Structure 1
Amino acid sequence: MGRFLLAFFLVITCGLSSVNAQNFSTHKVKAGETIEEVSKKYFVSPYDIYELNPDAKNGLKANTILIIPLSKAKQPKVTVTKELQGFKEHKTKRKETLYSLAKEYGVTEDDIKKHNTFLYANPLRKGDRIQIPVYKTTEKVEVIEPTKTYVVKPKEGKWRIAYKFGISVNELEALNPGMAEVLKVGQEINVPNLASSEEKTVDEKYGYYKVLPKEGFYRLKLKLGLEQSDLEKLNPGLKETGLKEGMILKIPYTATTGNFSISEKVNLADSISDFSTKRLAVMLPFRLNRVDFDSVADTKRSIKNDPYLNTSLDFYTGVLMAVDSLKTLGVSLELDVYDTKNEMAEVSRIIRENDFENVDAVIGPLTSRNFERAASDLKRWHTPIVSPIGTDLRLYDNVFQARPNDKLLKAKAISFVKADSLVSNILIISDTKNTSVSNELKREFARAKQIFSRKDKDGKEAFFVTRDDILSALKPGKNIVFLETENEGFAANVTSVLASLIRKGNDEEEARKIVLVTTHLNSAFEGDQINNTHLSKLQFHFATGSKAYNENDHRLFLKQYVDTYKITPNNKAVKGFDLTMDVVLRLVSSGDLYLSVKNAPLTEYIENKFAYKKELMGGYYNDSVYLVKYDNLSIVEVKQ
């Protein structure tokens, strides 16, 4: 419920100001709290807080939120002890993981495995009954002073000491108000209370560079001829902290200005060049006029029963996560959010009564008919508008279709099969509704065999095939089977039969390998009747506009989302995050969305990638898709 309430409160107040910190936490001010108390709590200087929160100079107000930069000073040593109190039984549901259960119950994955030893050798499956340990935890905090006194040595200046203690020159000066420009030998100054082993040594074999205001990795590449990866290797910890004004970087003496060429895939976060405030509008069918706010129960019921509101809230949480991430990159963004009520008349009214001429980009509406109305109304100003989920849209010259169309997905699957030189046999299984697709595949693979679902005694489609139907069409070696259907029962029947027909063996004449492919993934392959073990056994391949994120690769995003909304993000939330990041980063790195098509040929985020191409007499469509497969009950990308 928390994410829903937050979304409602932020619909009106979504303006942002520029923030330069690379990593930060937040602090809610208590009544009577001072800046000194807050700075000591987080082991930073008041200057650090003022830098990110200019309004705080006028005094702290209760319940306001401060952005706090992460300190490099020694943190308090916290000793946590746990005492087992008992157990709570949990029956696992579909798509639940050890990670999500650990987060839900506030324990670790190892805690769960320790008391459910079968999980050491087996994956978590739907229907498993597991014992969740319940602990009583106690914490003992050893407070460590954030700073210590340091005596300046011969030949030491500000930059050498700042580098030694892993801070910027600005931060060193903030720790020592009134510090002179030139330090004297023997002078005592304040520095972060680092352990001796954490202090850096200035290596005279290298040069050192002080990061200037608004310098990112892109500008350093132009100036120094060094890639971000080169700088991160020379400067341990840089990958975690990011660049900060006044930071001292170790560089080779030979580092000079070089030429920069954009690779096929571009990380736009390194190419930010425009720090002016950008204005983004988001149009979603919240339909808040239909929500019953009389009680919490009524509100929950309204949300549960309205798929448009559910989808909008999920997508919007992703937008807000992106806004926070963009803030850390120094991007200044003004966000306008509108409730379209899923009505075309409301879409036109919103555009008519608000200043869309000066909007840099619009995301949404979600439904195709409302999106087309908005795109048409915005043509007069050539305002770019991006569709998150629409396919086969009417591409006006201001339209960006972010979701790849079905033809592109089909072509990707077909090209994958054509590129496989080890295939000895191709089989096409479909129901009557997909006869045209089956025939199209037959034209692509002339030697393929076609099998259609059986009919009952009345001549109606029965949505099943027999084992013999398929077995008679298979050959020893590698068989690729296309399955084209939207019927869940038929998909379950075929995948079950195919999985049973795989035959292992060292002899090529005896072994029978089966790989399952579809040109159109739909709900039939994701229903409760489908056995994911069968799909994994068949290495089920399909093309998709977005891949499932890897929890290990995106732990920071996942943690931040769970901490904020108390649930794991679904694909709609991730789409909101990825699309917002891409749109805004294209604006601040290329001037406008149209120019970014050439400057950023391919971008990629958590689950989605974007490579826009322009129609000859129209707008832009995303020409980039993933090929993925089931592998050991997970969905992984197929590298081609």
Structure 2
Amino acid sequence: MNKFFFVLCLVLLFSFSTAQAQNYSTHKVKQGETIESIAKKYFVTPSDIYSLNPDAKKELRVNSVLIIPKAKESNIPKVVTVRELDGFKKHRTKKRETLYNLSQKYNVSIEEIKKHNKFLYAEPLRKGDKLQIPIFKVIEVEEVNELTKKYTVLPKEGKWRIAYKFGITVKELEELNPDIGAVLQEGQILNVPNIGNDEEKEVDEQYSYYKVLPKEGFYRLKLKLGLEQAELEALNPVLKLGGLKAGMILKIPYSNLSDGIVELDNRVNLADSITDFNTKHIAIMLPFRLNRVDFDSESDIKKSITKDPYLDASLDFHSGVLMALDSLKKLGVSLKVDVYDTKYELGEVKRIIDDNDFENVDAVIGPLTPSNFEAAASELRKYNTPIISPIGTNLKLYDNVFQSRPSNDLLKKKIVNFVKSDTLTSNIVVISDTKNKEVSDDIKREFNRAKQILSRKDKKGEDKYFVSKGDIQGVLKVGKNIVFLETQDAGFVSNVTSILAALIQEENIQERKQGIEIVLVTTNVNNAFKDDEVDNTHLSELQFHFATMSRSYNENDDNAFVKEYSRIYNVTPNNRAVKGFDLTMDVILRLVSSENLYTSVNKAPLTEYVENKFAYKKKLFGGYYNNTVYLVKYDDLAIVEVK
């Protein structure tokens, strides 16, 4: 019995090895070889090799051994027989010979005989006709199918659309095009897989599209999307051939789930789309309150700026506006710009509009404060003049209003959907103070199994803004834990983050110690998280994730705006200056690339600049609101965007 079992194991092992050998081969890297040359040799793509040899991306070492996948049948060259003319043989026709006899005798077709004896097209074959019979030599030729072809980017096409069209992942598209850039431009030439035209897929706007995450199988997708494997395969026939692959784009029925569902990323660079070089007239309204500034001396002016937060904010924003106007001038844009001091007074806002011709103004940026902005928007409705709010949220959206700052609800939704999309999470915890108990309860309704922890209280029942290590340790689990922290108290943030960082546990197989991973998130990032009392090292260790209306630019990046601003003002731009630049660039570029600001919403669905991006949607009965935010995280003491 034991011998039989041993033999059976050998047979199964041999069968497995044979199957593996049929699907894969190996290649020893030689001097001068590249992944591209090796891929061409085996009729596969570089992505195919990288998927089995991830270390090859970092370095391709001579004499290292690569695993090479089996090439698709369609990619393997086919050997075809080709007949090549090698001369002629003279022949005098005998009695009773026919063209058919001659074709059989010399192994040529009747048409080939006629082709080289053209009189036979008009006359029958007769005895004594002198013919030249073509003689062919037979050679074998390989029909090589090119693995890639050139593709021209269409208007509004993003990376994921092209990846879906050709059945690859965005990562594979980027590997085929190392210099592809962050945003595709109309007319850009890309390398794409050379599949048949019938196999190319088109994006149907009536469906949603889902990006498969690492380690996701059909079971996890069923839990997340509510779709059986057969349903997914019916919508995506490619799954029957190659199965699921991380990063691939799947067509699914229309869904309200946002994270995981591929956003219709139609980012456009409006600087390349300028069509209108007529002078555009814009107005800027800011609460400088220059009537309150003491101009007696330079020190008095500085004191006035320090004392007046409205003047300080207005000057920062306006400095960014000036930088944008200079950049637009270099692009050939002609502008007339009026700058008004609203003095932070409703009466002054109305006086400015009454005393000046706003009917022919193409767009108004500002005022900053909600009450003044609403007054200006109401007055400008009669002219249908678009007005853009730089910082206001939850504004009254008249039909001429553009709210450039995303709503707090959108920020909250972004982080909640991010947590929902993580199928590897084993545990969710919500820590909050009493003031944010309602927020904690909302999160609990989103995640039924979440554990809630509230700040400790004193004898009077008031918050002490701290929790103990035991409070948190008791609710954590082995594996991945996502912890929501909802507070506006810096001391509480410091208390919780220091405890959480200490509870992270690396997996140690030798000591049989299971790992505890903790990811910190919040639905409302505020100054408490940026306070000096909070250790950024702890935030980095906890991979702190949050949604934000603007991302921080990286000072190490070669950003032209930041460099020029620093040169002129001898200081790096703050977020108000960057917002002034980004918003002004966006408004004016929309005006010179579309009929007006209203039509630009459809022509330029998504734009992005230094720190801010804009994707306006129209309220059914009202104006426009910015419907896009960033998801960022702390990574090695830096804040980076989560793609």
**TM-score, normalised to structure 2's length?**
0.58
Quick one: which amino acid aligns to residue 334 of structure 2? S
Q: Is 1:389–1:402's contact at 8 Å kept on the other side of the alignment?
A: yes
CA distance in structure 2 between the partners assigned to 1:483 and 1:522 by the alignment: 11
CA distance in structure 1 between the partners assigned to 2:412 and 2:639 by the alignment: 18
Quick one: which amino acid aligns to residue 588 of structure 2? V
CA distance in structure 1 between the partners assigned to 2:446 and 2:425 by the alignment: 15
Q: Is 1:279–1:335's contact at 8 Å kept on the other side of the alignment?
A: yes
Q: How many angstroms does 1:524 deviate by?
A: 0.9
Describe the superposition over 1:558-600 as per-residue Cα deviations: whole angstroms up to 9, x where unpaired: 1100111111100000000000000000000002100000000
CA distance in structure 2 between the partners assigned to 1:377 and 1:292 by the alignment: 32
**Matching residue of 1:426:** 428
* Counterparts of residues 540-555 of structure 1 (less than 5 Å): 540-555=544-559
**Matching residue of 2:453:** 451
Describe the superposition over 1:249-281 as per-residue Cα deviations: whole angstroms up to 9, x where unpaired: xxxxxxxxxxxx997111001110000000111
Describe the superposition over 1:507-564 as per-residue Cα deviations: whole angstroms up to 9, x where unpaired: 5961111000000111111111111111111111000110001223343221100111
CA distance in structure 2 between the partners assigned to 1:594 and 1:274 by the alignment: 15
Q: How many angstroms does 1:506 deviate by?
A: 4.0
Instruction: Decide which structure has the larger Cα Rg and report it.
Output: 2
Q: Rate the CA distance shift 1:544–1:487 in 2: closer, same or farther, 3 A.
A: same
1:594 is the counterpart of 2:598: yes
* Counterparts of residues 552-571 of structure 1 (less than 5 Å): 552-571=556-575
Q: How many angstroms does 1:346 deviate by?
A: 0.7
**Matching residue of 2:442:** 440
Q: Rate the CA distance shift 1:294–1:560 in 2: closer, same or farther, 3 A.
A: same
Q: How many angstroms does 1:604 deviate by?
A: 0.4
**Matching residue of 2:318:** 316
| Aligned with residue 534 of structure 2, among 530, 536, 546 | 530
Q: Is 1:554–1:606's contact at 8 Å kept on the other side of the alignment?
A: no
Cα root mean square deviation, aligned:
2.1
Q: How many angstroms does 1:367 deviate by?
A: 0.7
* Counterparts of residues 394-413 of structure 1 (less than 5 Å): 394-413=396-415
1:613 is the counterpart of 2:613: no
**Matching residue of 2:5:** none
* Counterparts of residues 332-411 of structure 1 (less than 5 Å): 332-411=334-413
| Total equivalences in the alignment | 385
Q: Rate the CA distance shift 1:263–1:329 in 2: closer, same or farther, 3 A.
A: farther
**Matching residue of 1:327:** 329
Question: Counterpart of 2:443 in 1: which secondary structure?
Answer: helix
Quick one: which amino acid aligns to residue 458 of structure 1? K
Specify every segment of 5 or more residues in structure 1 that has no aligned partner in the other structure, as ranges: 1-216, 222-238, 240-260
CA distance in structure 2 between the partners assigned to 1:265 and 1:297 by the alignment: 46
CA distance in structure 2 between the partners assigned to 1:274 and 1:552 by the alignment: 35
Describe the superposition over 1:423-467 as per-residue Cα deviations: whole angstroms up to 9, x where unpaired: 010000001111111011001000000000010122111111111
Quick one: which amino acid aligns to residue 556 of structure 1? A
Quick one: which amino acid aligns to residue 305 of structure 1? K
Q: How many angstroms does 1:218 deviate by?
A: 11
Question: Counterpart of 2:520 in 1: which secondary structure?
Answer: strand
* Counterparts of residues 173-322 of structure 1 (less than 5 Å): 264-322=266-324
1:510 is the counterpart of 2:514: yes
Q: Rate the CA distance shift 1:489–1:556 in 2: closer, same or farther, 3 A.
A: same
Specify every segment of 5 or more residues in structure 2 that has no aligned partner in the other structure, as ranges: 1-152, 158-180, 182-202, 204-263
1:579 is the counterpart of 2:583: yes
CA distance in structure 2 between the partners assigned to 1:430 and 1:494 by the alignment: 10
CA distance in structure 2 between the partners assigned to 1:555 and 1:635 by the alignment: 17
CA distance in structure 2 between the partners assigned to 1:431 and 1:506 by the alignment: 35
Quick one: which amino acid aligns to residue 269 of structure 1? A
Q: Is 1:627–1:637's contact at 8 Å kept on the other side of the alignment?
A: yes
Q: Rate the CA distance shift 1:548–1:594 in 2: closer, same or farther, 3 A.
A: same
Question: Counterpart of 2:327 in 1: which secondary structure?
Answer: helix
1:622 is the counterpart of 2:618: no
CA distance in structure 2 between the partners assigned to 1:435 and 1:454 by the alignment: 13
* Counterparts of residues 60-71 of structure 1 (less than 5 Å): none
| Aligned with residue 485 of structure 1, among 487, 496, 508 | 487
CA distance in structure 1 between the partners assigned to 2:588 and 2:502 by the alignment: 49
Q: Is 1:486–1:523's contact at 8 Å kept on the other side of the alignment?
A: yes
Quick one: which amino acid aligns to residue 500 of structure 2? L
CA distance in structure 1 between the partners assigned to 2:366 and 2:451 by the alignment: 43
Q: How many angstroms does 1:496 deviate by?
A: 1.2
Quick one: which amino acid aligns to residue 280 of structure 1? I
Quick one: which amino acid aligns to residue 413 of structure 2? A
* Counterparts of residues 26-175 of structure 1 (less than 5 Å): none
Q: Rate the CA distance shift 1:478–1:509 in 2: closer, same or farther, 3 A.
A: farther
**Matching residue of 1:256:** none
Quick one: which amino acid aligns to residue 632 of structure 1? D
CA distance in structure 2 between the partners assigned to 1:283 and 1:384 by the alignment: 13
**Matching residue of 1:151:** none
Q: How many angstroms does 1:357 deviate by?
A: 0.7
The structure with higher relative contact order (CA 8 Å, sep 6+) is 1
Describe the superposition over 1:291-333 as per-residue Cα deviations: whole angstroms up to 9, x where unpaired: 1111111111111111111110110000000001101111001
Describe the superposition over 1:326-375 as per-residue Cα deviations: whole angstroms up to 9, x where unpaired: 01111001111011111111111111111111110000001111100000
Question: Counterpart of 1:529 in 2: which secondary structure?
Answer: coil
CA distance in structure 2 between the partners assigned to 1:352 and 1:574 by the alignment: 31
CA distance in structure 2 between the partners assigned to 1:344 and 1:319 by the alignment: 23
Q: Is 1:218–1:270's contact at 8 Å kept on the other side of the alignment?
A: no
Q: Is 1:218–1:271's contact at 8 Å kept on the other side of the alignment?
A: no
CA distance in structure 1 between the partners assigned to 2:404 and 2:330 by the alignment: 25
Q: How many angstroms does 1:487 deviate by?
A: 1.1
CA distance in structure 1 between the partners assigned to 2:493 and 2:563 by the alignment: 36
